């Protein structure tokens, strides 16, 4: 099994030291995501459906990380209320809890869009946290924005961190590195100088986007003097001025 240390790189003039962590396993059902992961981390992910992967097949781990779709959750009308799913995507959350219960790593990190806090009339998220706690972990969560930590993108995500109960660790989220939005890293610092023509919009598309820029949601005109807005997965159209 391939292993790779994390850290040990330079980004926007800052050096990030190599840490004492190794990636020993990765899983994603999307072929393109697997290719990008392998290119960046020199580790080929297991691209089977995670529901088909037995915990006994996984290596021993200290930290489990994962993201799971939130749009699949629903509250089944029962007494007491239980966490239900509308489709197979929602089962990824339960698979993460399954691995936590059966492998018992020291801690886990999960992430999701901030909308999960209000999903199902704010009833889904408390049940999600409860499932993590019932897996044997002390859990905390917080909304973090990547722009506050030197990334030239405004990306708010709910980060959920849990430590195994027997470790008695009182975790605290790190303070923001950048508080004043005027000091955020601008998009222009990471734009490539040479871009293939196939990635450019036609002039007609550019004119249309600029005309509707104030009401645009999915496709957005990006200001290179500011951090990039998050580009949604359902529409990856983004115009750079």
List, by residue number, the catalytic residues.
70
User: How far apart are the C-alpha atoms of 193 and 200, rounded to whole Å?
Assistant: 13
* Eight-class DSSP state of 21: -
Length of the chain in terms of residues written: 241
Please, which residues bridge with residue 145 across strands? 156
Calpha distance 133→150 (Å, rounded):
32
Query: What letters, b where the CB count within 10 A reaches 16 and e where it falls short, cover 100-139?
Result: beeebbebbebbbbeebeebbeeebbebbbebbeebebbb
Classify 37 as helix, strand or coil: helix
Question: Can you tell me the distance from the alpha carbon of 166 to that of 136, in angstroms, rounded to the nearest whole number?
Answer: 9
């Amino acid at each position: 099994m391939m292993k790779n240390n994390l850290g040990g790189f330079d980004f926007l003039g800052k050096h990030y030291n190599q840490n004492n962590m190794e990636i020993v396993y990765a899983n994603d059902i999307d072929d393109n995501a697997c290719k990008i992961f392998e290119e960046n981390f020199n580790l080929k992910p297991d691209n089977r459906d995670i529901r088909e992967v037995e915990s006994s097949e996984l290596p021993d781990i200290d930290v489990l990380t994962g993201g799971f779709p939130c749009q699949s959750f629903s509250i089944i009308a029962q007494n007491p209320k239980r966490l239900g799913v509308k489709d197979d995507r929602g089962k990824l959350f339960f698979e993460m809890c399954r691995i936590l219960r059966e492998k018992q790593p020291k801690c886990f990190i999960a992430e999701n869009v901030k909308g999960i806090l209000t999903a199902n009339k704010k009833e889904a998220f408390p049940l999600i946290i409860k499932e993590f706690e019932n897996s044997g972990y002390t859990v905390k969560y917080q909304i973090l924005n990547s722009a506050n930590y030197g990334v030239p993108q405004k990306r708010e995500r709910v980060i959920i961190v849990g430590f195994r109960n027997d470790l008695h660790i009182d975790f605290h989220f790190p303070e923001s590195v950048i508080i004043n939005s005027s000091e955020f890293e601008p998009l222009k610092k990471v734009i490539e100088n040479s871009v293939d023509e196939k990635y450019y919009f036609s002039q007609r598309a550019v004119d249309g986007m600029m005309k509707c820029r104030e009401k645009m949601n999915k496709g957005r005109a990006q200001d290179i003097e500011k951090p990039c807005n998050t580009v949604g997965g359902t529409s990856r159209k983004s115009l750079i001025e």
